Amino acid sequence: MLVRPFTLIAPFMAVMFGSLFQLAVYNEISTFWLHFSTILFASLAMASAQAVGQIMNQVEDVEIDKENGKIYRPIVSGEISQEKAQVAALFFSIFATLIAYSINIVYGSFIVILLLAGIFYNLEPFRLKKRLWLNTGSLAISRGLLPMPAAWSIFGNVWDATPWLVGSIIGLWVLGWQNTKDINDMEGDKKYGIMTPVVYHGVKGLTRIIIFLSFLSFAMLAIYLKSGLLSPAMSALFILSIPTLWMIYKISRGDFSRISLENNELWAAFYLTLAGFYILSATVYLIRPYITLFS
């Protein structure tokens, strides 16, 4: 409960399938199994970096969590002290950093940047969480833009355009849908001066912004494809417009009912669709030779 494991699926998949994507593009797919242990530990390092952010968020927001009725969280419920939670965050930070730098200096630097993003988001004097659009913007960079280039850097050239282009699409999509985590927390956030987009714009205003950013992310994909910056195979990412449309339907209806995974259905759909970007990117390159063979 402290690390919120459901939220770690997407960063784990980002590295597991992001590295698979890079190897498929380089026609070096056999490397995946030869170095699977490296990829597995790199994936765990990325997930651990996100776990640190989840822990720090709970350490800093005990009173806000109480106000928002999150009595199931382990610090609020008294199952673990803030001090022990901080020790856990330190453990995951050290684990992620050591593993990442043992892989290579570029991947290690990415992990440090992501850990710093968690610090800037949660801790004073930065505390980006309370600063309008800097909060979601910082998460769009750390959880949307950077994971694909980070995964690419394990075996590939980090300056290749492809991971940054795909990362920019994901980042823009995350900029919109990351806000779903805050919808059920409006009252507590407002009381404690946490100016999230939903607090400032209201649900209806935020819904319009999310719909616009969703359209813009897939429009960006279309532009990249049309200009030849991305391979035509990447048009498969348009499949993710289907769950996005379902999410737009849910948010337009004002359906924010909680589920057993802690937050609302849109929050769960956000993380699953986010993982889908990485899974689809790798899959289309894995099956492309077979499509060519039978065409």
* Residue 282: Cβ within 10 Å count: 23
Residue-wise pLDDT tens digits, 86-138? 999 999 999 999 999 999 999 999 999 999 999 899 888 888 999 999 999 99
Residue 280 confidence class, pLDDT cut points 50, 70, 90: very high
Does position 295 have pLDDT exceeding 50, yes or no? Answer: no
* Residue 294 pLDDT: 44
Q: What is the pTM of this model?
A: 0.93
* Residue 218 pLDDT: 98
105, β-bridge pairs: none
**Percentage of the chain with pLDDT > 90?**
72
Does position 293 have pLDDT exceeding 50, yes or no? Answer: no
Three-class SS string for the chain?
CCCCHHHHHHHHHHHHHHHHHHHHHCCCCHHHHHCHHHHHHHHHHHHHHHHHHHHHHHHHCHHHHHHCCCCCCHHHHCCCCHHHHHHHHHHHHHHHHHHHHHHCHHHHHHHHHHHHHHHHHHCCCCCHHHCCCHHHHHHHHHHHHCHHHHHHCCCCCCCCHHHHHHHHHHHHHHHHHHHHHHHHHHHHHHHCCCCCHHHHHHHHHHHHHHHHHHHHHHHHHHHHHHCCCCCHHHHHHHHHHHHHHHHHHHHHHCCCCECCCCCEHHHHHHHHHHHHHHHHHHHHHHHHHHHHHHC
Residue-wise pLDDT tens digits, 59-68? 887 888 888 8
Residue-wise pLDDT tens digits, 217-274? 999 999 999 999 999 999 999 999 999 999 999 999 887 766 555 667 888 899 999 9
* Residue 84 pLDDT: 94
* Residue 186 pLDDT: 87
Residue 150 confidence class, pLDDT cut points 50, 70, 90: very high
Question: Position 89: which residue type?
Answer: A
Q: Once rounded to an integer, what is the mean pLDDT over residues 177-192?
A: 87
Higher per-residue confidence, 181 vs 154: 154
> Degrees (nearest 5) of the Cα angle 61, 257, 58?
15
Per the CB < 8 A criterion, the answer to whether 175 and 211 are in contact is no
258, β-bridge pairs: 264
Does position 163 have pLDDT exceeding 90, yes or no? Answer: yes
